[in-house]
Amino acid sequence: MFSREQLVAAIERDELFLAYQPQMLPDGSGMAGVEALVRWQHPTRGAIGPVDFLYAVEAHGLSDELGTWVLTRASREALRWPSLTLSVNVSPTQFHKARFVERLVESVRETGFPLARLELEVVETAFFEDPGSAEAQLRHLRSFGIGLALDDFGIGYSSLSYLRRMPFTKLKIDKSFIDDVAMMQSAAIVHAVIALGRALGLKVTAEGVETAEQQKFLRIAGCHYLQGYLFSKPVPAAEIDAMLSTPPSPMRRSA
């Protein structure tokens, strides 16, 4: 596991960077937003993905530092995409720190990025410890116009009481259901989740869309946004600039 010193040094030496993955309209005709995903360009080990260092970040109590770094960097970089929403992942640990909302709002405001175009992606484990305080934090965030997505929906407990209670604006259906959408059970679940989200007035995003068949299914099922390798892997900011200046390929538009 990485030591605290290694992680602090990585932030100080500016070895971390953000990749952005497009969130597409279901017919592939345009990009609605991007999700910021952190990476570490290690001087000797090369590129390291978040699953390989986020555990150490949490264990060394650095999720707050990393979270602020990600939020500030993403808000600055996304300023140049006025047509897009920006989604940022928030770790459950960050969520329960004192003055979390005030500090988050302050960091984003300093960059000039409009809070109404920011969306935070949260996983349900953030609510387990203290649902009352989590609900209050989410309502506070919503009062600034910040969007709230429930990430990885479908795995874990996916308690419906959270959906009823917490002021979410979006559901993200976990990739595992999209992978298996050709199977009857998964297809039924995806249909039901989209219907549930829509009935609750939420937007629904499907994660991990890799094939034209999955895209077609999700578009017909009424999913609002699609994200996955079919459209693009997470890429450096400059590649998002390039995609925005070139129209999407006809193949993806017609699926």
Q: Which residues lie near ligand C2E (CB under 6 A)?
A: 21, 37-38, 49-51, 54, 70, 89-91, 121, 151-152, 207-210, 227-229, 234
152 near Ca ion, judged by CB under 5 A: yes
Give the one entry of ligand C2E, Ca ion, none that residue 128 binds, where binding means its C-beta sits below a cut-off of 5 to 8 angstroms depending on kind. none
Q: Count interface residues toward Ca ion (CB under 5 A).
A: 5
**199-228 residues near Ca ion, rule: CB under 5 A:** 207
Smaller CB distance to ligand C2E: residue 202 or 227? 227
Smaller CB distance to Ca ion: residue 28 or 33? 33
- Amino acid identity at 60: H
Distance of alpha carbon 219 from alpha carbon 238, whole angstroms: 28
Phi, psi of 84 (to 5 degrees): -110, 150
Q: How many residues does the chain have?
A: 255
Min. distance of Cβ 240 from Ca ion in angstroms? 17
Min. distance of Cβ 236 from Ca ion in angstroms? 18
Min. distance of Cβ 37 from ligand C2E in angstroms? 4
124 near Ca ion, judged by CB under 5 A: no
Contact 122, 90 (CB under 8 A): yes
Smaller CB distance to ligand C2E: residue 174 or 221? 174
Min. distance of Cβ 85 from ligand C2E in angstroms? 15
Contact 206, 32 (CB under 8 A): no
Distance of alpha carbon 149 from alpha carbon 167, whole angstroms: 9
Half-sphere exposure of 164 (CA within 13 A, CB side): 3
Smaller CB distance to Ca ion: residue 6 or 232? 232
- Structure tokens that stand for 131 in this block: 């649902």
Distance of alpha carbon 78 from alpha carbon 253, whole angstroms: 25
Contact 93, 59 (CB under 8 A): no
Min. distance of Cβ 103 from ligand C2E in angstroms? 15
What residues pair up with 171 in beta bridges, in sequence order? 150, 204
Binding site for Ca ion (CB under 5 A): 89, 121, 151-152, 207
